[in-house]
């Protein structure tokens, strides 16, 4: 796989593969031409894509010619990156994305493709396939039922024992993620946190990269400390940072100069936990506070990408110790028309996780069903902070 952020990959990176004679292997494969329209071409393409997802992830690069032996057999070593000629890239990408969508089950999250220009005979197309947590993925095109994975020698078809092991591994990763979240919520409830938080309702946001639970390298804390200095904890603090080392990784506290009421914790595996104890006013959990806090997820995800955490990742929202409180959009004024709002009946509201698949995800829209579920625990139909198009706009102009 090219060791560069996907959206930052350039012609120089492709040329470097050629000049360094980087051979095909477990995480990279070259193709001179795009798949044609035959069934065999489609099966080959889907086998390539699914084999990356079922192993370590990787890059499939179209527009690169390989060296060949005396018999004309490709050797897996790039000879030149010339490009794909006069192709309509948008049409071809739509065609191939449709084949992935319809020909592989279950769907592979996070597959991305982009054109890279500047080559002598047209663009190169780079497909990046992440290691999947939802595998194993089966090629189902034309009633096929085949599973593929990869080794350093390229792709191969899985046998029944390997298929069974892949299913067990996928379940194990999901279980690890949920166990991690449950353990952290338990620790927050018992006060085992980087700072001591006041009693009362607490908002907890977890961002959990799949790679953090699948044996990938852990975060270099010294490298992460500088960019984390810019990362704002939840609770709208006027003062925060700098990050401090602790046994779990790095943490930064947020406050107002008088009290400290929130923190953000970066774990050594790349997971993030942010907690605010400043979401309530009186007996109300206020939407203009906790929803604005949750929108910081965009900055947190960008930070995780900066320090090398891979997509996809799980986003998980919880509200703790809020039993007997009620949700309300903002601090009430004398002009608010009060209606009876049901108090929250549970002391722990752990909303089911949602998955962020790629960089183009609108995280605010993605979180809406989870936020709605929180409001529904207090008798509301859902969040009042979204407009008719599903965009989060907040509560500045909210009226009953």
Q: Residue 257 pLDDT > 60, yes or no?
A: yes
Distance CA 334, CA 340 (A): 16
d(CA 319, CA 374): 8
Rounded Cα–Cα distance for residues 122 and 359 (Å): 26
pTM: 0.69
Task: Give yes or no for residue 288 having a pLDDT over 80.
Answer: yes
Res. 135 pLDDT band, cuts 50 70 90? confident
Set out the domains of the chain in order of their start, with CATH numbers: 6-158 (3.30.950.30), 168-376 (no CATH)
**DSSP H/E element including 14:** helix 11-19
Q: Which two tokens stand for residue 53?
A: 């997802």
Greater confidence, 30 or 160? Answer: 30
Read off the tokens for 368: 């809406």
In total, the chain counts a number of residues equal to 400
pLDDT tens string 201-245: 999 999 998 878 866 557 899 999 999 998 999 999 999 989 999
At 200, list the tokens.
């009362």
Distance CA 133, CA 170 (A): 6
- Token pair listed for 309: 């955490």
CA 265-234-211 angle, 5° bins: 40
pLDDT tens per residue across span 325-340: 999 998 887 655 555 5
Cβ count near 389 (within 10 Å): 7
CA distance 294 to 297: 6
Q: For the residues 44-65, what does the mean pLDDT come to?
A: 94
What is the predicted pLDDT for the residue at 35?
A: 94
What average pLDDT does range 261-288 have in this prediction? Answer: 95
Q: How far apart are the first and last CA of the chain?
A: 53
């Amino acid at each position: 796989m090219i060791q560069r952020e996907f959206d930052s990959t350039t012609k120089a990176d492709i040329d470097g593969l050629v000049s360094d004679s980087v051979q095909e292997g477990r995480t990279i494969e070259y193709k001179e031409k795009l798949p044609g329209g035959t069934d065999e071409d489609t099966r080959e393409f889907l086998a390539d894509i699914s084999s990356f997802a079922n192993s370590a992830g990787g890059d499939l690069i179209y527009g690169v010619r390989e060296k060949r032996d005396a018999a004309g057999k490709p050797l897996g070593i790039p000879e030149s990156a010339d490009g794909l000629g006069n192709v309509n890239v948008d049409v071809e990408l739509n065609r191939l994305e449709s084949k992935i969508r319809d020909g592989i089950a279950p769907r592979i999250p996070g597959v991305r493709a982009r054109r890279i220009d500047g080559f002598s005979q047209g663009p190169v197309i780079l497909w990046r396939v992440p290691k999947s947590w939802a595998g194993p993925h089966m090629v189902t095109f034309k009633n096929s039922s085949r599973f593929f994975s990869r080794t350093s020698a390229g792709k191969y078809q899985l046998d029944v024992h390997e298929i069974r092991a892949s299913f067990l591994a996928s379940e194990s990763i999901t279980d690890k993620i949920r166990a991690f979240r449950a353990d952290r919520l338990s620790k927050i409830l018992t006060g085992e946190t980087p700072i001591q938080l006041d009693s009362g309702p607490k908002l907890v946001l977890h961002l959990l990269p799949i790679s953090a639970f699948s044996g990938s390298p852990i975060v270099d804390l010294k490298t992460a400390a500088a960019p984390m200095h810019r990362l704002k904890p939840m609770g709208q603090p006027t003062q925060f940072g700098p990050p401090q080392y602790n046994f779990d990784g790095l943490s930064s506290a947020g406050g107002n100069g008088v009290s400290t009421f929130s923190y953000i914790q970066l774990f050594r595996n790349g997971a993030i936990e942010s907690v605010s104890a400043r979401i309530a006013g009186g007996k109300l959990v206020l939407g203009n506070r906790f929803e604005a806090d949750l929108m910081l997820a965009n900055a947190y995800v960008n930070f995780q990408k900066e320090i090398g955490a891979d997509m996809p990742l799980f986003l998980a929202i919880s509200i703790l110790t809020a039993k007997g409180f009620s949700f309300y959009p903002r601090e009430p004024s004398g002009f608010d028309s009060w209606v009876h709002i049901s108090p929250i009946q549970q002391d722990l509201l752990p909303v089911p996780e949602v998955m962020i698949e790629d960089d183009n995800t609108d995280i605010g829209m993605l979180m809406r069903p989870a936020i709605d579920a929180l409001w529904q625990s207090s008798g509301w139909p859902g969040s009042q902070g979204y407009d008719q198009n599903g965009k989060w706009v907040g509560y500045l102009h909210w009226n009953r």
